[in-house]
Amino acid sequence: MPHTVIESAPSLSPTSPAQAPLDVARLRQDFPILAREVHGKPLIYLDNAATSQTPQQVIDVFSDYYSRYNANIHRGLHTLADEATAAFEGTRHRVRAFLNAEDARQIIFTRGTTEAINLVAQSWGRKNLAPGDEVLISMLEHHSNIVPWQLLAAEIGFTIKVIPVEANGTLDLAAYRALLSERTKLVAVNHVSNAFGTVNPVQEMAALAHHQGAVILVDGAQAAPHQVVDVQAIDADFYAFSGHKVYGPTGVGVLYGKQALLEAMPPWQGGGEMINTVSFDVGTTFAAIPHKFEAGTPAIAEVIALGRALEWMESVGVSAIGAWEGQLLAHATQAAGRIDGLRILGTAPDKAAVLSFIVDGAHSQDIGLLIDQLGVAIRTGHHCAQPLLHHFGVDATCRASFAAYNTLEEVDRFIEALQRVINMVR
């Protein structure tokens, strides 16, 4: 069977524009893990920027898929293969709508944001970057939007330049403008910083990049969970996000690309699924997008489950989720500000649901370990943003990050637990 992206979109429940406040008590019931205890205390899960928890509707996809229609996709002529293919391609349509992409063919499934960025580096970058060219990244980047460019720069010899940050964790836009030149071929920035929560003005940054003829890649790993993303409004050339941060499973993510760019890019990995014909005599021809970039059997159940996770988010309302998390963040910021010796890193006016902090006289690592004993899961360390933390003179912070299912009471209990832990270690 030739490769197809099924033309007719499966019926999607409409994205709710409703701004009604969340019924948090009700939606918490969708997450069985939230009922568990840790060290005899009710779990308070505040490590959502690393991985969000998964609703039962998404968990159910796995048993449903493996007990009813497990089959390899695209090539089969039997019923199970058809059902699996329809469900897999259904997610592609849902992701298209979720990002407001023009066409489902522009949605490529990857293992996550990291693989999506590596795909762009190895396919677009290898073809389009040359010695003397410049790639602009920012001080706020996650290692997965730094290292792929460093690896390629070491081979090709282009230059990486870094957009600096202000003291409050916002990007220095004047410096960005000054760094842009006719040598700039690519700007690669995150939409939201995982370490500080800063929301970057990617639409404005895209317009400036395009004005110089550069392409912009937006790492949306921390934006897709919290805000409505419109790749056309941003005018992003590439946009990436991960399933496990949007209430979906690990092992799956998305790369969106502009059609003309994707069509002009060479394949990245070779194998089954990505070819038209293979021959020893006349060479091999490649499938059209998106399949050209999807070599081998993909994570079928995970992709289907990602579709279910996005459906869950849309049924709750993406804007409503972001608004609620904003309340949680404001509450936590205020309460944390009253703790003696606590310093928040990242105080940008526009922030997503991330509270990063250090405490005088208390190691972040100790805080993380001890607060876990009280049932509170936060993250401590460099958050895969070592250059940023180094710039601020620290090698680790504590980070609490919020999701739709967190409550104001949980924030209060987290702050109480934090105060107890600080009293213990000081």
| Cα 115 from Cα 294, distance rounded (Å) | 12
Please select the residue that binds ligand PMP; options are 74, 93, 94, 142, rule is CB under 6 A: 142
Please select the residue that binds ligand PMP; options are 48, 106, 170, 242, rule is CB under 6 A: 242
Q: Give the E-state strand segments of 143-277 in sequence order.
A: 159-163, 184-190, 215-219, 238-242, 253-257, 275-277
Q: Report the nearest approach of ligand PMP to the CB of residue 242 (Å).
A: 3
Nearer to ligand PMP, 96 or 142 (CB): 142
Task: Identify the three-state secondary structure at position 123.
Answer: helix
Q: Report the nearest approach of ligand PMP to the CB of residue 123 (Å).
A: 17
Q: Is 397 in the site for ligand PMP (CB under 6 A)?
A: no
Nearer to ligand PMP, 199 or 301 (CB): 199
DSSP classification of residue 72: -
For strands 354-359 and 342-345, give the pairing. Answer: antiparallel
Contact characters 350-389, ligand PMP, x per CB under 6 A = ----------------------------------x-----
Q: Which of residues 154-213 bind ligand PMP (CB under 6 A)?
A: 190, 194
| Cα 53 from Cα 401, distance rounded (Å) | 12
Q: Is 52 in the site for ligand PMP (CB under 6 A)?
A: no
Helix (H) or strand (E) run with residue 38 in it? strand 37-38
Query: Of these residues, 384, 415, 421, 422, which one is catalytic?
Result: 384
Q: Which of residues 246-285 bind ligand PMP (CB under 6 A)?
A: 253
Q: Is 219 in the site for ligand PMP (CB under 6 A)?
A: yes
| 103's tokens | 């066409």
Q: Which of residues 100-119 bind ligand PMP (CB under 6 A)?
A: 112-114
Q: What is the DSSP string of 372-424?
A: HHTTEE-EEE-TT-HHHHHHTT-S-EEEEE--TT--HHHHHHHHHHHHHHHHH
The question of whether 398 is a catalytic residue gets the answer no
Which residue intervals of 183-295 are DSSP H helices?
202-211, 231-234, 259-264
Q: Report the nearest approach of ligand PMP to the CB of residue 120 (Å).
A: 13
| Cα 420 from Cα 359, distance rounded (Å) | 13
Spatial contact of 398 and 384, defined as CB atoms under 8 Å apart: no
Q: Is 221 in the site for ligand PMP (CB under 6 A)?
A: yes
| 45's tokens | 């899960």
Nearer to ligand PMP, 47 or 133 (CB): 47
Q: Report the nearest approach of ligand PMP to the CB of residue 303 (Å).
A: 15
Q: Report the nearest approach of ligand PMP to the CB of residue 196 (Å).
A: 11
- Catalogue the active-site residues: 384
Chain residues that interact with ligand PMP, rule: CB under 6 A: 112-114, 142, 144-145, 190, 194, 219, 221-222, 242, 253, 384
